[in-house]
Chain A
């Protein structure tokens, strides 16, 4: 680890101005950033710790009927989401996804805001944000999921922009199925299928440079929301990742298989 300056922010505004001033990095749960720093792969100069900021944690249900949504504070840990009765009741797929992230240590430290701001191509949360049509609330604005994930580790966030919460509209049903990369246990491919108020949405993580929607499967499922319909869709391997653990063809195949399993599991 390189030497760095540590600043503990007292408020979101405080954190934002520290980031703007120093060009440093925001620290949420630290499950990606600290590891990269320890390996000397990241040298942020200044780390602005968000953990002392009040009101960034917590889970609540807002609205009702078609407008009902689960709002999760950015610093809420994966373990808190996984064990939340509110999430379990409203969007079981989201609780189960959180329960499957990393290991126990990661789930107790890692946060939803940190995960989606990092936008790791194989992270789980981005699939939920995208497939459930969530809205990302920052200190500056609201960003629709479809506009948020821009590229590998790239998001719509400005350098001094901080996620404060994520709002998930409650779907009719949904499920997330992940096929883990054998070593890292990140998603080699993960698919979240959701039947939302705005239609069928299918998001894929792990397969490409960043999370994306599988529109071919969405179209097939809009006609027939069945496992067979999803499985029958042949996904193109163009632009999919190819590495030691999975060729683009294998990943393309897994997208259809996992989507079909998610349809079968959706509730």
Chain B
């Protein structure tokens, strides 16, 4: 890259970060080793639900190499982990927030719940010692299914949450919905399970915590998507430490998908213990631990109904969802099936009235929280399965029923609280149908039939809401944190620019995308821009990366800081050029006196700011370093249509994806290659949910049956076809980049498109309903059941 990419926005600039990743020079948390470091191992509960009558750590403490053993009783003065979003129920009461201890206090509530922390000179010694800990459990009956957990007589998981209920919450006008259904010509009803998923980032969670007795400070390296949030929650709510004494560094992070947003018990325990043992402590989860203890995703059971008039126009929707929270409330668990789910049920359609009631329930499982899409895939799945089924029942073509109901006038106020600023749904549907060669489908279907195979095609026209905001509305809805982002632009004396962002890249390519934005705006080569993220010691503040917010919110914060840089630069240039500030323009890296050829290059202005020999010192501070906090006025609303074509082998139930076409509107695009990569990854994860992935706990014992990659099926290369992707652009109206976000779209649209295709294929075999994942056994069984 060089000076020839001054306008690199919109170009597929190769990722700056890939050199270190592809040459093995990345620095991940597990690459961090502190001098005099010890190793941690967490003894976890083998039971889903049990009282702890006693723990004997005597033998473990005297085992070879052991530095310390801690159990819940040792953590005096340490609070439980907080939940970041307060949901108020339909009864006007706050949600139930039972304690979430860092290590179990008297009871364990899921298989994998932390019982003891063993710190030793080596990991093997810590593991050996953990086997010497004697825990006296009184095993209780568990409940792992969210619907079963609400039934009377179900085992009680928390004393403070009667009936295992966290809250019942509702959105929408119930009476209006009832009235709409009363006049409907047709009602489509579905019972839907949205399968529980285990995130499986390629890098498992890890932490290295150190205490410095010289100044009573702590340093934590951790696999986090948002180190400032991690620090805030840990210091202010759990450990009672001043933020000034804790530095949290999230270095290179190998994927998160939401699972690394949260404050987890492990790193909290490590920070606390690092002072107790006065030595650095390292912990890296193995894959088995990740399966047990990472926050899982989805796990909804839903009844949904769509009312239509005789022409297939949507009149109203009613949705009742039971959402599993798991054993404890993870950091943002409560807002996923509410704020990020019910609000999306309008989809791309003009459905005038919608009512959604959500009951959140505790179960004896790992906590559930945001996972790529977080609420929005669940909402899209409900809407698009309903639309598909309604079209089939009413004999309307799949594209036609969507067109009859698309929103075409913006801004659009939905009946579920959101205001879509812009969109162009027909264009994405048209383009996706072209990519998918829908016209040729009938002949492809008959060709499959000749080979004894069932071919089907399915659509999903999804919407998502990204960059959750603004903070004051979030606060009114229960958010306990801000929803802004921070960007700092430091122009160095010789013109190089360091950008400090509160966003965090763990695969998204921010170091390139953000550099493109900065390079283009300042008219400087992209190589002169360095993006710094993931360190509370270097970055003013930040909310981190989740919900496809980084460019729309984090990128805009950088743009706002750039605006300040340019404004100050104009003042400096005006002085140097002996012109009025109002006459100075900034373009292509030059400050120019309007209408003249008198100009100063960006670098000259930067130098003047730091070597202020010829400088208006009497009215302007030296230096060129600006920070902006950006709080958006609205969500952004990426949308698109995905079309999937499958072929099913009725003899085995095997589903092959033959074609997958996606046309998405992400607003303005900075780096098309990175966007396409995000779409591909999202689609693969969506395909995983629809075809392969299912977290299963044994109903009787509460054991995790899919506790390894031997039983939990992730998508592989052969499961995904060569995607056909395209984009359409309606720029976001309320951020200067016109950007909407692209990180989750694939995972949001793909499951519904794929399952609609599976249903289309199976219609000929008499199968009317199938839940995800469409595994061979499940498909074959459905075909057999339909036969008899």
A-B contact count (CB 8 A): 42
B781 close to A (CB within 8 Å): yes
Question: In the complex, A247→B782 CA distance in Å?
Answer: 13
Question: In the complex, A184→B692 CA distance in Å?
Answer: 12
Asked whether B713 lies within 8 Å of A182 as measured between CB atoms, the reply is yes
A204 close to B (CB within 8 Å): no
A1 close to B (CB within 8 Å): yes
Asked whether A257 lies within 8 Å of B651 as measured between CB atoms, the reply is yes
B205 close to A (CB within 8 Å): no
A3 close to B (CB within 8 Å): yes
Given A183-B710, A184-B710, A244-B706: A250 and B775 within 8 A (CB)?
no
CB proximity to A under 8 Å, residues B705-735? 705-706, 709-714
Asked whether A1 lies within 8 Å of B713 as measured between CB atoms, the reply is no
Nearest residue, chain A, Cβ from B691: A182
Asked whether A182 lies within 8 Å of B780 as measured between CB atoms, the reply is no
Question: In the complex, A39→B696 CA distance in Å?
Answer: 21
Nearest residue, chain A, Cβ from B128: A2
Q: Digitize B536-548: 1 where CB-to-A-CB distance is under 8 Å, 0 elsewhere.
A: 0000000000000
A-chain residues with CB within 8 Å of residue B127 when the two chains form the complex: 40
A253 close to B (CB within 8 Å): yes
A-chain residues with CB within 8 Å of residue B776 when the two chains form the complex: 179, 182, 188
CB proximity to A under 8 Å, residues B737-782? 775-777, 780-781
Asked whether A182 lies within 8 Å of B652 as measured between CB atoms, the reply is no
Give the contacting residue for B705; candidates A244, A253, A257; CB below 8 A. A244
Given A39-B288, A183-B710, A184-B710: A247 and B777 within 8 A (CB)?
yes
B124 close to A (CB within 8 Å): yes
Question: In the complex, A2→B123 CA distance in Å?
Answer: 11
A44 close to B (CB within 8 Å): no
Question: In the complex, A50→B97 CA distance in Å?
Answer: 58
B-chain residues with CB within 8 Å of residue A40 when the two chains form the complex: 127
B-chain residues with CB within 8 Å of residue A188 when the two chains form the complex: 776
Nearest residue, chain B, Cβ from A258: B652
Give the contacting residue for B780; candidates A1, A183, A244, A250; CB below 8 A. A250
B-chain residues with CB within 8 Å of residue A3 when the two chains form the complex: 124
Nearest residue, chain A, Cβ from B696: A244
Nearest residue, chain B, Cβ from A257: B651
A207 close to B (CB within 8 Å): no
B-chain residues with CB within 8 Å of residue A254 when the two chains form the complex: 652
Could you tell me the dominant secondary structure of chain B's interface residues?
A: loop
Question: In the complex, A253→B714 CA distance in Å?
Answer: 25
Question: In the complex, A247→B710 CA distance in Å?
Answer: 17
Q: Digitize A229-265: 1 where CB-to-B-CB distance is under 8 Å, 0 elsewhere.
A: 0000000000000001111001001100100000000
CB proximity to A under 8 Å, residues B628-677? 651-654
A-chain residues with CB within 8 Å of residue B709 when the two chains form the complex: 183-184
CB distance from A209 to the nearest CB of B (A): 18
Give the contacting residue for B777; candidates A1, A2, A246, A257; CB below 8 A. A246
Give the contacting residue for B652; candidates A1, A244, A247, A257; CB below 8 A. A257
Asked whether B710 lies within 8 Å of A182 as measured between CB atoms, the reply is no
CB distance from B719 to the nearest CB of A (A): 9
Total interface residues on A, using CB and 8 Å?
18
Asked whether B775 lies within 8 Å of A245 as measured between CB atoms, the reply is yes
Give the contacting residue for B124; candidates A1, A183, A184, A244; CB below 8 A. A1
Asked whether B781 lies within 8 Å of A183 as measured between CB atoms, the reply is no
Asked whether A182 lies within 8 Å of B692 as measured between CB atoms, the reply is yes
Question: In the complex, A179→B654 CA distance in Å?
Answer: 9
Asked whether A183 lies within 8 Å of B777 as measured between CB atoms, the reply is no
Asked whether A183 lies within 8 Å of B651 as measured between CB atoms, the reply is no
CB proximity to A under 8 Å, residues B678-696? 692, 696
Nearest residue, chain B, Cβ from A246: B777
Asked whether A184 lies within 8 Å of B711 as measured between CB atoms, the reply is yes
CB proximity to A under 8 Å, residues B117-141? 124, 127-128
Question: In the complex, A182→B711 CA distance in Å?
Answer: 8
Given A1-B124, A182-B692, A245-B775: A253 and B711 within 8 A (CB)?
no
Asked whether A250 lies within 8 Å of B713 as measured between CB atoms, the reply is no
Nearest residue, chain B, Cβ from A247: B777
Asked whether B775 lies within 8 Å of A182 as measured between CB atoms, the reply is yes
CB distance from B697 to the nearest CB of A (A): 11
Given A247-B777, A250-B780: A183 and B711 within 8 A (CB)?
yes
Given A182-B776, A184-B711, A257-B652: A247 and B696 within 8 A (CB)?
no
B-chain residues with CB within 8 Å of residue A183 when the two chains form the complex: 692, 706, 709-714
A-chain residues with CB within 8 Å of residue B712 when the two chains form the complex: 183
Nearest residue, chain A, Cβ from B698: A244
A-chain residues with CB within 8 Å of residue B651 when the two chains form the complex: 257
Question: In the complex, A179→B775 CA distance in Å?
Answer: 12
Q: Digitize A175-206: 1 where CB-to-B-CB distance is under 8 Å, 0 elsewhere.
A: 00001001110001000000000000000000
Given A40-B127, A183-B713, A184-B711: A245 and B777 within 8 A (CB)?
yes
CB proximity to A under 8 Å, residues B127-183? 127-128
B-chain residues with CB within 8 Å of residue A244 when the two chains form the complex: 696, 705-706, 711
B-chain residues with CB within 8 Å of residue A184 when the two chains form the complex: 709-711
B-chain residues with CB within 8 Å of residue A2 when the two chains form the complex: 128
B-chain residues with CB within 8 Å of residue A39 when the two chains form the complex: 288
A-chain residues with CB within 8 Å of residue B696 when the two chains form the complex: 244
The 8 closest A-B pairs by CB, nearest first: A183-B713, A182-B713, A184-B710, A257-B651, A250-B777, A246-B777, A183-B711, A182-B692
**Chain B interface residues (CB < 8 Å from chain A):** 124, 127-128, 288, 651-654, 692, 696, 705-706, 709-714, 775-777, 780-781
Q: Could you write out 10 A-B pairs with CB less than 8 Å apart?
A: A39-B288, A179-B654, A182-B775, A183-B692, A183-B706, A183-B709, A244-B696, A245-B711, A250-B653, A250-B780
- New A-B contacts (12) at CB < 8 Å, excluding given A182-B775, A184-B709: A1-B124, A179-B654, A182-B692, A183-B712, A183-B714, A244-B696, A245-B775, A245-B777, A253-B780, A254-B652, A257-B651, A257-B652
